[in-house]
Chain A
Amino acid sequence: MLDIVKRFFKIAFREWTLFYTDSLAVLLLVVASLIYAIYYPLPYMKEISEKVPAGIVDLDRTAFSRELIRMADATQDISVYKVYNTSEEARDDLAGEKIYGYMEIPKGYESEVRKGSNVTLGVYGHGAFLMLYRNVATAFSTVALTQGATVKVKRLVARGNSLAEAQAIRDPIPVRFYNMFNGINGYGAYVVPAVLMLVLQQSLLIGISILGGPRKNRHFKSLRGRDQHEDAPFFLRYFGRSAAYLVHYFSFITIYHFGIYNIFGFPQRGDLFTLFAFGLAFFGAVVNMGMWTAQFFERRETGMQIFLCLSIPFLFMSGFSWPRSYMPEWIQILGAFIPTTYAIPAWLALENMGASLKDVWHYIIDLYLLGGFYLILGLTIGKRHDFIRHVWEQRGSQRLAEHLKKFHPFS
């Protein structure tokens, strides 16, 4: 028994040393998760898009319209890039991405308002930049409503109401809005944590595939001369190597928690113990998925190419930007087999929202179930390959030899 335990740890340690001695493994299992974690948040360092350039088409050219322009320029959301004479000029700048939206003040704006009429201002945004359009629409609507509120209160006072009554009549049930868990509504805090989980999953899947998963007798340069554990019994090989990946990836949870979250100032409410408990379920599922998928790749690079191309679909399938319940059923089913589908909301809840393990227990259970599912697949396929190899070694069949050539081409 002690021998088995010793051998298990030796296999795990041997696999772990490969992460630092095999050049491709270093790149994928050590460098990639760090580089991406630093490189991906860079565009969002400012977190919020303040002072988005916007334009105003002023067809009225009165003191009242100029006041509106000044108010718009004073908002935090937008800055008035230019005041245009025609909407064609504004559209030209919109197409050139000099502005991301504009407001059109109609001719006779001031006089119509003074007469007591209701005036509608057109706010136009770029349909390809909905996130920025929101800034533009919010800022223009707010300043228009603010200017309108002043006029409205004056009209109500003129009808015999007190100032306090007029203010209450103007907006009888105001709503206060609070952003929970991401106070400044930062874009980086919204998108980066989800991507970090994807990076961990993809780098681990690719890493396992380039090292051959549970394959027997791999022929890596870095293993040359010290490969006495390459023909270990299947279960020892499978679980020993899995343990190396699992433990290694806990270090990234620590680095992300103490390093990346602090460097980029993301909301950090989780504690390390809870995150490790989550990591056990998440990495367990990913490692088993990797140990299974790795057995289908004939070359070390194949996994890289496939999982690289699948990164974007995996990210969106998780429902972090678009609710999963609003995806077609077949995509939801497909997504149910991807660990990040559960890991992304669980990580966000634990680390960004300060949830307890109890709050995210349903995700953790799903991750364990997924891990169990992939474990059965990985063990079945791996054991089958080992069995075929054993039979071939006994009988020397040509057909089996060809099968093995496909299964053990790693060099």
Chain B
Amino acid sequence: MSQLFSYETPRHLSVGVVVEDMSQLSMRIIQGLRASSVVKFDTVCEDLPHCEAMLRQGKIYAVLYIPADMEKDALRSETPKLSLYVNAQSMLTGNLISKEIRSVVGAVGAKLEKKNIPEPISTELHTIGNPTSSYIFFLLIGIIAAIFHIVVMSCGVFVFSWPFREKTTSDWYYAANQSPVIAVLGRYVPLLFVYWLEFLIITVLVRHAVPMSNMEFYVIAAGEFLMIAACLGMSLSFVGVSGSMRLATSAAGVIGGPAFAFTGQTFPLLAMPVFVQWFAFCLPLTHFLRAQSAMFIGDVGISHAMDSLQILGGQVIFWLLLGIVTMTHQIKKYVRAEEDA
């Protein structure tokens, strides 16, 4: 996944152009855009429907329409209007192209009007914790956590329900000195540490480009530990309640599969319906991502990250207790069934 976003920001996005004004000004705009590394102006369409068809075919991401008499209108101060048609089904590319075209056309326009004066008020944009607006920090680290969320749940279900599936519950139970708690923890603890170690290694590999402070690393490491512990607790509970590998895997799939969509990382939680917000609150991934995001802001984020870690801690206790109680019942049931058989 980190390789998938390795370019950080897409470049040379194909844009079509319909030129109805063969003037110096339109050539200057096209030259300006050809010099840009964000867009690639290599498609000249006969007319708008031609370009629209290419948009539908996925060959270009946007169309710039330069109307007839643009230069004349501009020189007569009649403000000609260029139009940019963006494929809004491709949000990222649409935003990048709009921003670039606005900037290039603005620069050409500023040179055109000699009476122009600089903007009295301008803005300077900063993204805290992600200075290059990289997708690695915005999306990738969230996606990796989401993959761990589902993999840990799904594999947890597999490991905890394996003896039920293979009818080896008695062996497991007697190997744990007839203690369901020891039997469960005997599978839970090694899994927890193996996944935690794996998650830590991946975090270090993915985030090597921007060094983390020690405190940030400790908070993220603690968050990863708690998220994995909570996910394993959930899978334990799914197996404990259902007593079946198939049903528990389905539950893990339904809850863990689309979890990333509910965490608020790409679409704000505030804009989601209240019941969805409650569901998101129940997911360990939501709180881990909140802790991770809080650390983007630096030391100010520590206390907020700690709040999220506390909630994760509460989830670990709840799911582990529920899992142990329900698994105790299931283990005894399966042992009886195997002994009867």
Q: Which residues of A contact B (CB under 8 A)?
A: 23-24, 27-28, 32, 35-36, 39-40, 42-46, 48-50, 52-53, 88, 91-92, 94-97, 100, 103, 113, 116-134, 137, 140-141, 144-145, 147-148, 151-152, 155-156, 159, 161, 164-165, 167-183, 185, 187, 189-191, 195, 299-301, 304-305, 308-309, 311-313, 316-317, 320-323, 326-328, 330-331, 345, 348-349, 352-355, 359-360, 362
Contacts and interface: CB of A to CB of B under 8 A. Distances in A.
Interface in B75-115: 77-95, 98, 101-102, 105-106, 108-110, 112-113, 115
Nearest to A320: B90
A322 B135 contact: yes
Interface in B122-144: 122-131, 133, 135, 137-139, 142-143
Contacts of A133: 127, 133
A32 B251 CA distance: 11
Nearest to A24: B246
A121 B121 contact: yes
Contact of A43 (B85, B91, B262): B262
B299 to A, nearest CB: 9
Nearest to B272: A43
Interface string B238-255: 000000011001101110
Contacts of A100: 268
Given A42-B276, A95-B294, A145 B121 contact: yes
12 contacts: A91-B300, A95-B296, A118-B121, A125-B128, A128-B129, A130-B133, A161-B115, A171-B79, A176-B84, A179-B94, A182-B89, A185-B88
Contacts of A178: 83-86
Contact of B249 (A94, A195, A301): A301
B81 A174 contact: yes
A144 B121 contact: yes
A156 B109 CA distance: 16
Interface stretch (B7-15, B194-202, B324-332): B7-15
Contacts of B142: 128
B122 A144 contact: yes
Nearest to A46: B271
Given A118-B119, A152-B119, A176 B81 contact: yes
Contacts of A145: 119, 121-123
Interface in B239-284: 245-246, 249-250, 252-254, 256-258, 260-262, 264-268, 270-273, 276, 280
B133 A127 contact: yes
B190 interface: no
Contacts of A120: 121-124
Contacts of B129: 126-128
A43 B84 CA distance: 30
B11 to A, nearest CB: 7
Contacts of A327: 3-4, 7
Given A119-B121, A156-B115, A159-B115, A305 B249 contact: yes
Contacts of B93: 323
B294 A124 contact: no
B82 A173 contact: yes
B214 to A, nearest CB: 18
B49 interface: no
Contacts of B7: 326-327
Contact of A129 (B3, B256, B293): B293
B307 to A, nearest CB: 8
Contact of B6 (A304, A328, A349, A354): A328
B116 interface: yes
B119 A123 contact: no
A301 B89 CA distance: 36
A301 to B, nearest CB: 5
B292 interface: yes
B124 to A, nearest CB: 5
Contacts of A36: 254, 257-258
B158 A305 contact: yes
A352 B109 CA distance: 35
Given A42-B273, A45-B273, A165-B77, A148 B121 contact: yes
Given A121-B121, A130-B130, 12 more contacts: A49-B270, A120-B122, A122-B124, A134-B95, A156-B115, A168-B77, A173-B109, A312-B1, A326-B7, A328-B6, A353-B87, A359-B53
B208 interface: no
A240 B133 CA distance: 52
B58 A180 contact: no
B266 A131 contact: yes
A126 B127 contact: yes
B293 A97 contact: yes
Contacts of B268: 49, 52, 100, 129, 132
Nearest to A189: B89
B89 A353 contact: yes
Which of A122, A322, A352: most chain B Cβ within 10 A?
A: A322
B273 A27 contact: no
Contacts of B3: 327-328, 330-331
Contacts of A117: 120
Which of B81, B94, B123, B256 neighbours the largest number of chain A CB atoms within 10 Å of its CB? Answer: B123
Contact of A127 (B53, B95, B120, B296): B296
A168 B58 contact: no
Interface in B20-68: 25, 29, 52-53, 55-58
A174 to B, nearest CB: 6
Contact of A345 (B58, B84, B115): B58
B74 interface: yes
Nearest to A23: B246
Contacts of A92: 300
B57 A180 contact: no
Contact of A175 (B74, B84, B92, B124): B84
A362 B273 contact: no
B120 A125 contact: no
Nearest to A124: B126
